């Protein structure tokens, strides 16, 4: 098992390196710069700023210097929010994004799995048709449409929940963002669990358990759910990644001080170091989550740990 984990870690390092390199090139080659404003700066002021942040050096040298700082854990200063370093901004926004993403993922899994099982057990019934219809809507409507609609209905018209803002210790601020972020993943999980349960129910070991006279609940828990949930476990890595990246839009719509808002501001302002820092954090989270999922799947299925064995 240790060899398997080390192999996955060895594969994660070049992936992260490729993400850093590609993001660096894309950000630097995009039109505009961090000091471009409606009122142009004086040439000497612009030259001093470029010299201060090393932007007057060749692109290859800038890249090597950035990698050197990154190896020391230094993400650099923000080029537009000049009173803050990138690490300070990440420390401010990351807890909010992790809270939002964690609650959304827990809601999606906590409702998606039992609703998917219910749909499979009520196949072609009213509950099955209703859940599939709602799941299709959840997959078809993206978060940047769902979020404003939820804010308009429950915040503006009904006045049940806050439309935007963040006050620590007030859970109501997270209800609409968590719901908007969880709906697409929840919809997909309902369809995935339903299809997986229906497939496993026709396997030989399940039929044997039924023939032995086991209670339906025991057959479901012992023989159907363990293999049926294996695809769900494999989906959780990409699902968590989708929730983290989807939070960029949701945080902006609801005015939450998370990573997404700073990333959007950094992209609009061409704040190179801020965008790079956010991209790196997201990449580490996505790679780490997928690594955890790979390890969990290997614990469940020994064939993944020993692919050379028949």
Domain-located, residue 238: yes
Query: Residue 238 pLDDT more than 80?
Result: no
Return d(Cα 297, Cα 278) in angstroms, integer. Answer: 29
**Predicted confidence band of residue 207 (pLDDT cuts 50, 70, 90):** confident
Greater model confidence, 223 or 149:
149
Segment 53-78, tens digit of pLDDT: 888 888 888 899 998 988 888 888 88
Domain-located, residue 6: no
Segment 143-195, tens digit of pLDDT: 778 888 888 888 888 888 888 777 776 888 888 999 988 888 899 999 999 98
Site of tokens 């007030």: 170
Greater model confidence, 228 or 183:
183
As a whole number, the mean pLDDT across the chain is 82
Contact 253, 1 (CB under 8 A): no
Query: Residue 254 pLDDT more than 80?
Result: yes
Query: Residue 305 pLDDT more than 60?
Result: no
State which of 114-123, 197-206, 289-298 shows the largest mean pLDDT: 114-123
Residue-wise DSSP of 133-200: HHHHHHHHS-HHHHHHHHIIIIIIIS--S-SS---TT-THHHHHHHHHHHHHHHHHHHHHHHHHHHHH
Identify the CATH number of the domain in which residue 217 sits.
1.10.3720.10
**Predicted confidence band of residue 38 (pLDDT cuts 50, 70, 90):** low
Domain count along the chain: 1
| Percent over 90 (pLDDT), the chain | 5
Note the pLDDT of residue 107: 92
Domain-located, residue 78: no
Query: Residue 29 pLDDT more than 70?
Result: yes
Choose among 164, 295, 179: nearest CA to 246.
179
Greater model confidence, 165 or 307:
165
Query: Residue 309 pLDDT more than 60?
Result: no
Range of the domain at 279: 86-305
φ and ψ at residue 77, rounded to 5 degrees: -85, 155
Return d(Cα 181, Cα 164) in angstroms, integer. Answer: 15
Note the pLDDT of residue 200: 84
Note the pLDDT of residue 231: 81
Return d(Cα 124, Cα 126) in angstroms, integer. Answer: 7
Note the pLDDT of residue 89: 87
**Predicted confidence band of residue 290 (pLDDT cuts 50, 70, 90):** confident
Find the mean pLDDT for residues 281-298.
79
Return d(Cα 181, Cα 147) in angstroms, integer. Answer: 8
State which of 115-119, 160-164, 222-226 shows the largest mean pLDDT: 115-119
Contact 212, 222 (CB under 8 A): no
Domain-located, residue 95: yes
> What contacts 224, CB < 8 A, 6 or more positions away?
197, 200, 201, 206
Domain-located, residue 152: yes
Note the pLDDT of residue 246: 66
Note the pLDDT of residue 21: 92
Choose among 26, 141, 84: nearest CA to 257.
84
Greater model confidence, 5 or 253:
253
Domain-located, residue 298: yes
Return d(Cα 180, Cα 174) in angstroms, integer. Answer: 10
Greater model confidence, 35 or 192:
192
Domain-located, residue 245: yes
């Amino acid at each position: 098992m240790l060899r398997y984990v080390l192999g996955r870690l060895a594969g994660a390092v070049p992936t992260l390196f490729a993400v850093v390199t590609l993001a660096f090139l894309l950000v630097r080659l995009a039109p505009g710069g961090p000091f471009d404003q409606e009122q142009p700066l004086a040439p000497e002021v612009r030259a001093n700023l470029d010299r201060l942040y090393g932007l007057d050096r060749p692109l290859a040298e800038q890249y090597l210097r950035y990698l050197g700082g990154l190896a020391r854990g230094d993400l650099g200063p923000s080029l537009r929010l000049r009173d803050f370093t990138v690490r300070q901004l990440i420390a401010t926004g990351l807890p909010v994004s992790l809270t939002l993403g964690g609650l959304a993922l827990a809601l999606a899994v906590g409702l998606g799995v039992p609703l998917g099982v219910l749909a499979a057990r009520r196949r072609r019934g009213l509950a099955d048709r209703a859940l599939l219809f709602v799941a299709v809507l959840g997959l078809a409507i993206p978060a940047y449409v769902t979020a404003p609609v939820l804010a308009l209905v429950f915040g503006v018209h009904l006045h049940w929940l806050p439309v935007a803002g963040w006050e620590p210790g007030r859970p109501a601020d997270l209800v609409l963002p968590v719901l908007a972020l969880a709906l697409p993943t929840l919809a997909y999980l309902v369809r995935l669990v339903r299809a997986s349960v229906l497939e496993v129910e026709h396997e030989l070991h399940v039929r044997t358990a039924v023939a032995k006279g086991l209670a339906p609940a025991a057959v479901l828990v012992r023989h159907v759910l363990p293999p049926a949930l294996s695809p769900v476990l494999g989906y959780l890595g990409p699902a968590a990644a989708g929730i983290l990246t989807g939070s960029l839009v949701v945080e902006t719509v609801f005015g939450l001080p998370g990573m997404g808002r700073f990333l959007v501001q950094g992209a609009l302002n061409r704040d190179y170091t801020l965008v790079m820092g956010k991209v790196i954090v997201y990449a580490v989270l996505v790679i780490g989550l997928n690594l955890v999922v790979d390890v969990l799947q290997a614990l469940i299925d020994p064939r993944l740990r020993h692919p050379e064995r028949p």
